[in-house]
Structure 1
């Protein structure tokens, strides 16, 4: 059976890790074992950071929508409920953008949400 040599594959793998570690200080950018640990840790932080970024932006959008709702004498939860009753399918990102850049348009949307809440049939006991 022929001898299996992994020269190229091993070298390519190590070059890839060292390329990712470029810019790290000292041993972490020069020696494979240290670089591998640092790169794995950094990639793990990057993965977590992408999840946190989504969470942070959603919080920001909700705060902006809530502030605009308060200017229109509504609470955020009432506003979102009114939107669903009115059949308005806008996501929080676009609503926050409208609230910041086009307040008069947001006021019109808020009035539609209010009207939908007012026209909702009341449950009878």
Structure 2
């Protein structure tokens, strides 16, 4: 049973550098730490993507002469339910549709 447990850890540690790949105690430490990094970074990835989408939307807003915060406020007031990921995709692939959303957001802001 011990051999099976050790082998499982050593297999997970294959590819690591130095003793971390073949000495159980070192491999176990590194596999545990790697698991912590993976857990943390799965959550961090979501933050990083949101930052990327916001940067893309902000750049497209610059072309349309509106600030990002004003766009989001207008979209909320207009009742348009589109998330930042889709907004950034529209800004990249279909600028005409993005500009239509911007115009709707502008009119909703002035009406409110």
TM-score by length of 2: 0.92
1:61 to 47, 53, 73: 53
RMSD across aligned C-alpha pairs, in angstroms? 1.2
Bigger Rg over Cα: 1
Q: Judging by fraction of residues, say which structure has more helix.
A: 2
2:103 to 96, 107, 111: 111
- Counting only pairs closer than 5 Å after superposition, residues 67-86 of structure 1 correspond to structure 2 as 67-86=59-78
Q: Distance in 2 between matches of 1:56 and 1:18?
A: 32
- The ranges of structure 1 where at least 4 consecutive aligned residues each deviate by more than 4 angstroms after the TM superposition are none
Q: Distance in 1 between matches of 2:88 and 2:4?
A: 46
Q: Distance in 2 between matches of 1:88 and 1:16?
A: 51
Structure 1, unpaired ranges of 5+ = 1-7, 121-125
TM-score by length of 1: 0.83
CA positional deviation for 1:97: 0.7
CA positional deviation for 1:52: 2.1
Structure 2, unpaired ranges of 5+ = none
CA positional deviation for 1:53: 1.7
Q: How many residues are matched?
A: 112
